[in-house]
Amino acid sequence: MSSLQAVHNIPEICARLGITDVVLSPGSRCAPLTIAFARHPDIQVRTVPDERAAAFIGLGLAQAQRRAVALVCTSGTAGLNYAPAVAEAYFQQIPLVVFTADRPPEWIDQLDGQTIRQADLYGAHAKGSFTFPADTTHPDAQWHAARLISEAIGLAEQFPAGPVQINVPLREPFYPKQGEELQFGPVRVTRELPGRSLLPAAQLQELRDAIRNTSRVLVVAGQHRYNADLLLAVRQFAAAYQVPVVGDLIANLHLPAAAGYDQRNAPLGRQDVFMAVPEAGLKEALKPELLITFGQSLISKALKLYLRGAKPAEHWHIQPAGAVADTFQSLTKIVRMEPADFFAELSSDSHVTSQQEHVAGSIPVEPTNSAEPQGFDSNRGHATSQDATRVAPRPQPLGEPVRLTWASADADAPAKVAYLRPWQAAENWATGFLREFMQQPNQPFNEFTAIYRALQQLPDHTALHLANSMAVRYANILGVPAGRIVEVFANRGTSGIDGCTSTAVGAALAQPNRPVVLLTGDVAFFYDRNAFWHNYPTPNLKVILFNNHAGGIFRLIDGPRQQPELEEFFETRQPLTAENTARDFKLRYLSVSTFTELESALPVFFAAESGAALLEITTDSPTNAEFFEQYRAAVRSSFSTP
């Protein structure tokens, strides 16, 4: 038996426990792992030289496939380059199994080359750290080695999922002799069967009674992957109890829940718009008594700050296991259930569901004969979109503001309906306001409107990846067209820019028959160019790059934009374009700097036959900031008291 047999068994254990994708970066110390994974018939191995990009590509694969992916690297600083993706996977709850090859323990701290302290390399940002035996000649060590791999994979996949490290000390020789065949197994694996917790009937009834007897109940969803059962359960819960449901774009509540669903009554997603209205009366009307949350982080800072100030009397968070954050400083109860099970169980009571006839999955609203959404006071016809370049005059003034109104207290309306109406009115007003504002004529060429127009043309069934900084914020304001089947992803676990492109590349590799679209800014894009440094085609990947030659976000937030050091020390202006990157990595390249060019380019860019493509939209950072400030000023002035 080879002295490396226990190492050669690692791929067999991985394959039997469902890991079929491995992303590795070349090196000498990891050679036994590399060869074993490469020769295993049931493992697909991809080589990415840059470890930071490799780890984010692995994260994108795991995110898209909804199962664990393995990473393999050599010893020394290679493993440190995995750290940003490992942290993102930890906070986004994505299973990664990280194999870091290492020197044997006696050579640590002995000035041997490519050697650092690799045990527990990721600290609190990994769910666990395991050390593979350095010597596996004894049968007990072989049993221990196999058991350890099973335990690590099981831990990575347990809810909440996350990354684990397996540090593998290896002694020479690393390579099999010429003509030597590797043997895989036999191995014994330990499988974990997931269970789903359900509260006792009496406790469920207590929760139903509390919701039924509370007038102001609000549901807020954090980041969450698409889940058809959850979508339908949330809508049925909202209809049964007449409560508003609010979620950022990355909560994926915007997706249609069922055939025949009336999209006008979807969960609300315009909070970044209407929460910016400085009207105390509206904020008071929206204030909850009971807040129910599920999912992970929120993009909307406005909603986050509002809920911290609103201080609901009760705040329940729904999560089956793991630590729970008190994001809104109001947490009073943790309900240990899957969110889909919670909402389904609480709306299953016959007394609750019989209170309201409704289309499956919809939130009933009063019928209206008007084509305009409720809460939207339109005082002029739709503006037609006109082309303008970056040097065009300012947009025409909005004139009389598109005003937000909300229903006054109605003594005859049930209390829950009276609370639901202002949320719906605010949502409908925000939808109409955005439509009017984004279509106003004579705009200077700017990235906010360019993103709006790109989102309107997204193909159905797209996996939309949003890079951090402004791309994810713009998209959360604007949303995707109603009824469009677009699942949304973003690295909001740590909200870093360092692997946004690589994550999208991983998603494109995982689902080659699905359109994958990345919206990104120039700083995030150029920071992560090595995402394309590999030999695997991604014809389904479309990258829209908004290049304002700076970190434009710093012109949009108070603090840095008022400082004389803005351009050099915050924006860090740069002269690059993506043309050379596109040529180097064989991406179809399109470049636009006017609305006319953009409208011509988008159909070509999104066409499946265009293959992997990069659309570079060049704008001016000060112009972007000025236009976005006009948008914010218009929001602030667009309300009227009831």
Neighbours of 218 (CB within 10 A): 24
Q: In this predicted structure, what is the pLDDT of residue 385?
A: 37
The C-alpha atoms of residue 57 and residue 44 are separated, in whole angstroms, by 14
Domains (range + CATH), the chain:
4-169 (3.40.50.970), 201-347 (3.40.50.1220), 440-636 (3.40.50.970)
Q: In this predicted structure, what is the pLDDT of residue 413?
A: 75
- Mean of per-residue pLDDT scores for the chain: 87
The C-alpha atoms of residue 375 and residue 426 are separated, in whole angstroms, by 6
Contact 376, 401 (CB under 8 A): no
Contact 303, 280 (CB under 8 A): no
The C-alpha atoms of residue 420 and residue 434 are separated, in whole angstroms, by 22
Q: What percent of the chain has pLDDT over 70?
A: 85
* Helix or strand (DSSP H, E) at 154: helix 139-157
Whether 345 has a pLDDT exceeding 90, the answer reads yes
Q: In this predicted structure, what is the pLDDT of residue 405?
A: 67
User: Could you tell me the pLDDT band of residue 106, with boundaries at 50, 70 and 90?
Assistant: confident
Q: What percent of the chain has pLDDT over 90?
A: 70
User: Could you tell me the pLDDT band of residue 281, with boundaries at 50, 70 and 90?
Assistant: confident
CA 25 vs CA 72, 74, 115, 119, 169: distances in Å: 6, 7, 17, 19, 17
The C-alpha atoms of residue 621 and residue 605 are separated, in whole angstroms, by 24
Q: In this predicted structure, what is the pLDDT of residue 549?
A: 84
pLDDT in tens, 30-67: 999 999 999 999 999 999 999 999 999 999 999 999 99
The C-alpha atoms of residue 93 and residue 121 are separated, in whole angstroms, by 18
Whether 258 has a pLDDT exceeding 60, the answer reads yes
CA 218 vs CA 243, 357, 362, 490, 491: distances in Å: 6, 21, 16, 25, 26
Q: Which residues contact 317 (CB under 8 A, 6 or more apart)?
A: 292, 293, 294, 324, 331, 333, 334, 335
The C-alpha atoms of residue 294 and residue 311 are separated, in whole angstroms, by 17
Whole-model pTM?
0.88
The C-alpha atoms of residue 168 and residue 609 are separated, in whole angstroms, by 44
User: Could you tell me the pLDDT band of residue 370, with boundaries at 50, 70 and 90?
Assistant: very low
Neighbours of 356 (CB within 10 A): 14
The C-alpha atoms of residue 89 and residue 95 are separated, in whole angstroms, by 7
* Helix or strand (DSSP H, E) at 163: strand 163-169
The C-alpha atoms of residue 467 and residue 425 are separated, in whole angstroms, by 31
Neighbours of 34 (CB within 10 A): 25
The C-alpha atoms of residue 45 and residue 54 are separated, in whole angstroms, by 12
Whether 381 has a pLDDT exceeding 60, the answer reads no
Helix axis angle for 621-636 and 447-456, nearest 10°, is: 80
Averaged over 289-295, what is the pLDDT?
98
pLDDT in tens, 504-540: 999 999 999 999 999 999 999 999 999 999 999 999 9
Which residue, 161, 60, 23, is CA-closest to 467? 60
Report the chain's C-alpha Rg in angstroms: 27
Q: In this predicted structure, what is the pLDDT of residue 339?
A: 97
Q: Which residue has better confidence, 175 or 497?
A: 497
The C-alpha atoms of residue 207 and residue 318 are separated, in whole angstroms, by 12
The C-alpha atoms of residue 498 and residue 578 are separated, in whole angstroms, by 17
User: Could you tell me the pLDDT band of residue 560, with boundaries at 50, 70 and 90?
Assistant: low
Contact 614, 538 (CB under 8 A): no
The C-alpha atoms of residue 375 and residue 425 are separated, in whole angstroms, by 4
User: Could you tell me the pLDDT band of residue 225, with boundaries at 50, 70 and 90?
Assistant: very high
